[in-house]
Every structure is written in structure tokens, then in C-alpha cells.
Structure 1
Amino acid sequence: MLLRLPTSVSEAQECLAEGAVPIGGATLLWATWQRDGFPEVAMSLREVPEANVLERTTVGGAVVLHRIDDRVPDALRLAAAQVGTGAVRRSATVGGNLVGSTLRCLLPAAIVLDARATVLEADGIRETDLSEVVAKRPVLLGLRWREPVASAFFKLAAEAGGPPPLVVAAAVHTGDGGNRRLRVAVRDGYDVLSGSATCTPDTAQTLHALRGTELIDLSSAAWDVVRSKVAALLA
């Protein structure tokens, strides 16, 4: 297998046009390749500057998870810190987690940050939403979001090899009119549900409005966790 390491977006586009397979951190691909065979040409974005940005409102797709620190909102920082083991976090990338993983541990955090994705294609780059990233699995160049007032992330403990643990991410944003909006995303099993509600002085009222969104499909046990974590954030 030939590994291409482009140093610019234009070089990366050329690699894609030539059929190179994007690999991210390859933590999820190696076993599959060993079983099914390696591609002739693979490509990593680890030398492309735009894919390695790490700032308060943006992160590159090639950023490895252990690099994600308090420069980003708490929801994303805590989500990255709880992916796999330390060895995995030193190799796994943002793009690999969101595009290549079935668990997508970073997805709830990205949803509550209202993130938009920049994706790389053979004929250029463009911005899209997270639903397309999940459905079409493009090459993720980076994410950009609005800085929240506050955010949080919670992941239930789980045994290795067992079912995916419940994940809850939440963020509060200030709208154009000055009102505040709560966004919540929950990974329950392999499904990710989300909802939003206007923040009111009455936390119970805010939670009641949130329960009436897509999150109404959560089990009672999962909703109890959501209610507890969201109430703590709003407090």
C-alpha cells in the first residue's frame, strides 16, 4: 500500500481524483484491511494545514483526539477525552470518528455546538451539515461552530465489548434577539436523537419543552439522565 501525504488542499484533491482512499487515523480500518486486503493507494490529511486547525470555534478533521483541549468548548473536549484508550486517542482523528466510526462519539457534541462541516471532494471543498456527513461519509476537512455560552458532555460507564453507553451532550447558545437556546443530543445505542428549546427561568418548563422534541422517543431511564445533566448545566 502506498500512503500519500499531501501538504495542501489542492494536492489532497489530486489524490482523491486518482482514487486514493482516505484513512484518518486508521484505527478503525486496519483490521478490515487485514481481512479484506489493503488498498493500492491511501491518503492522510495529517500534513494539510487546514485539516489540523485547533481553535475555539473550529477543529480540523485530521486533529488527533488527544490534542483536543480547553481551546474548544467543554462538550467537544470531554467527548474526545472519553473515546477509547489513551493509545487510541493518540491515533484516532476527528474525521475518522465522525465519518468512519459507527459509534461517532463526537457527533452529539458536534450537534449541540450547531457545527457545520467543510468537506473535501476531488473537484473542490464545500460546507455541509452533519446529517450529510453521517449519511454520505465524505472526507472531512474540518468543523466550525458558534461558541456557546456553556456546554457539557456526559457518558455512562460501560463494559468493554458491551452495548454502546448512553451519551448526553448539551449546550446553551445566545440567539440574535438575546434569548438563549438549549440544544441537547443523546446517543442511545447506535441512534443519535436531538432537540432544542428556548431557555426560560423555570428549568422544569425548559425541560418540558425539550421532552416534546425528538427526545420524546427516549426511554424513561435515558430521559432521567438527560434531565439531571441538563438541569445541572442550566443551573
Structure 2
Amino acid sequence: MMVISQDGLISVTRVSQALDILTRLGETATVMAGGTWVMREARDRTFVSLANIPDLTDISLDAQTLVAGSMVTHQDLCDAITGAPDLAALATAAGKSATPAIRRMATLGGNLCTRDFYSADLAPALLALNAEVDLETSSGRQTLSLEDYLNTPVDRPHILLRVTVPRTAARSAHVRLMQRQAGDYPLAVVSLSAVITPDGALRDLRIAVGSVEKRARRWRALEALCEGQTMTSDSIRTHAALRASQDFVGRDAVDGQGWYRLRVLPALVARAFSDMSRTEQGAGR
């Protein structure tokens, strides 16, 4: 692990201070949140710690929205939302990522802002839940859908302040495939959210895939095939198998080959659908 000298770490108490430093130092400065990923950078950097900005650790949950600050840890996020059926995908993503020690340190903002971390669990879960992010930039406050944020090139300093998730009547689920049970990054991740109507049809279906490519994204073609349809685990798996190689280009890495990531996607979609359906049935009792 890289050792940071006292001169190389700047702790700020206001977002404006962090932005000023990032603007002034340019590419030689890096934001540090939980430190579980950025500390791998074995090069000269000035690290700007956000740990002492109190508002960034706030979590608010009511009937309309979940609002979580960017410095909320995975474990605190999981603890706050466990038991909410519409947020089940996010609770699972936060509660199953990495290891217990990492979950107590890794932050929501760090997970979303680290563009060279391709296996982030929270991104697909939040995409499936239609999340928005609030950013502070040198030109002021900005709100983007998470989807737009992940697809926006990082061309100027910014601080991710918070994530907002609308509460809905949907149910959700999150599944991941691991090489081993703990400590590894997932080979593929699927998050799914939908309203299941009384006649069994899917409405407002959102499917997101992570770790298969370099960036988590919605699976819109599969959503379109299944929206408004009465599906089973087998039928949605069949649809996913027909679309996977057309809609994704699997990435090759030391932990897994691209072809294998595509091959397992249909089974993960079926598992996510099954988990979501069980949640729906439980809510209706």
C-alpha cells in the first residue's frame, strides 16, 4: 500500500476548498474518499480528502426518495435501506461488495467516480433504480441522471455530492457472478427493477449490466423485448441469450474472458428476475 507523506494529503472541510485545490493543481491532484482504490496509484499525487465534510455522510430515507451523500460507506448504505423492496438491488449491491472490511471504508461516491474500476457493484444497481447525482463544479451545482454522468467525459474538476433515488412501487434485485465467494471482483453483474402488474406483466422494466464492459449500462434492447410482457425466469433467459452477443462486447481481463462474461449474462438475468419475483410475492402476502 502506498504511504502518503504529510505534505501529500490535504484534508478539507468544505466542498469549495476541494474544488479550488483540484482546479489549481490539475492532474497532479486526486480526490480521496474511502481510499480503497485510489491508494493503488503508486505515483506522486496530492490527495484531497473529503472525510471531514460532514454533509457528505448524510443518509435520508422517506416514502418518496433515498438521498445518500457521496461519503456514505457501502455498509452504512446497506444498513439504512435493508428491508425496502424497491431498494433491494442497492442493498444487495452495497452489502455483498468486496469484503466486510472494505465495505466499512469504500464510499458511494468513490464507487461511481472511479472510472477505471470496471467491476463496481453500485453503478448497475443505481442505474436500475433510476438514480440521479448532484455535482458541484466551478460553474455551480449540476444534477444529472446517473446514466448521463457515467457517459460524460471527465473534463473538469467536480465533486459528487449526493445520489438521489426515487422510491417507487417497483421491486428490484441484484446478482453477481464471482470466481470465488469473497475478495474477488465480479465477472458479471445484473441489476433489475420492475413493477409486476396483477396479471403478471412487467412495467417500468429497467435492466443494468456491470463488469461485462468497461462501464455499467442499461440493457435497453432486452428491456424493450420484455416490457409489458408476462415473463418467467426461463423466458427472460431465452430473450437475454438471443441478445447478449449483439448488445455487448465482453472485456478480456486477467479475471475472465469477454466471451465468458457474455455467456453467463442470461443466467444472471434469470436469477435476478427470480429474486425480484420472490420479493414481489412476499410483499403481496
Cross-structure match for 2:187: 165
> Aligned runs of 1:127-166 on 2, under 5 Å?
127-135=143-151, 136-137=153-154, 138-148=158-168, 149-159=170-180, 164-166=186-188
The answer to whether structure 1 residue 55 and structure 2 residue 55 are counterparts is: no
Contact 1:16 1:122 in 2 (8 A): no
Cross-structure match for 1:115: 131
What is the rounded CA distance, in whole Å, between the counterparts of 2:211 and 2:13 in structure 1? Answer: 38
Q: What letter matches 1:202 in structure 2? A: T
Contact 1:60 1:142 in 2 (8 A): yes
Note closer, same or farther for the CA distance 1:42–1:123 as it changes in structure 2 (3 Å cut): farther
Note closer, same or farther for the CA distance 1:83–1:204 as it changes in structure 2 (3 Å cut): closer
What is the rounded CA distance, in whole Å, between the counterparts of 1:208 and 1:88 in structure 2? Answer: 33
What is the rounded CA distance, in whole Å, between the counterparts of 2:9 and 2:212 in structure 1? Answer: 34
More displaced 10-residue stretch of structure 1: 207-216 or 158-167? 207-216
Count of matched residue positions in the alignment of Structure 1 and Structure 2:
227
What is the rounded CA distance, in whole Å, between the counterparts of 2:241 and 2:178 in structure 1? Answer: 27
Q: What letter matches 2:51 in structure 1? A: R
Cross-structure match for 2:14: 8
Contact 2:175 2:271 in 1 (8 A): no
Q: What letter matches 2:192 in structure 1? A: A
What is the rounded CA distance, in whole Å, between the counterparts of 2:141 and 2:22 in structure 1? Answer: 12
Cross-structure match for 1:29: 38
CA RMSD of aligned residues (A): 3.3
Contact 2:57 2:72 in 1 (8 A): yes
SS across alignment from 1:71: helix
Q: What letter matches 1:222 in structure 2? A: L
Q: Output the TM-score relative to the length of structure 2.
A: 0.67
Q: Output the TM-score relative to the length of structure 1.
A: 0.79
Cross-structure match for 1:217: 247
Cross-structure match for 1:95: 109
Note closer, same or farther for the CA distance 1:42–1:67 as it changes in structure 2 (3 Å cut): same
Report the alpha carbon displacement of residue 164 of structure 1 after superposing the two structures with TM: 3.7
Summarize deviations over 1:146-199 as a string: whole Å, max 9, x none: 11332111112323787742211111259xxxx931211122533534233575
Runs of 5+ unmatched residues, structure 2: 1-6, 82-86, 197-201, 249-261, 279-285
More displaced 10-residue stretch of structure 1: 164-173 or 192-201? 192-201
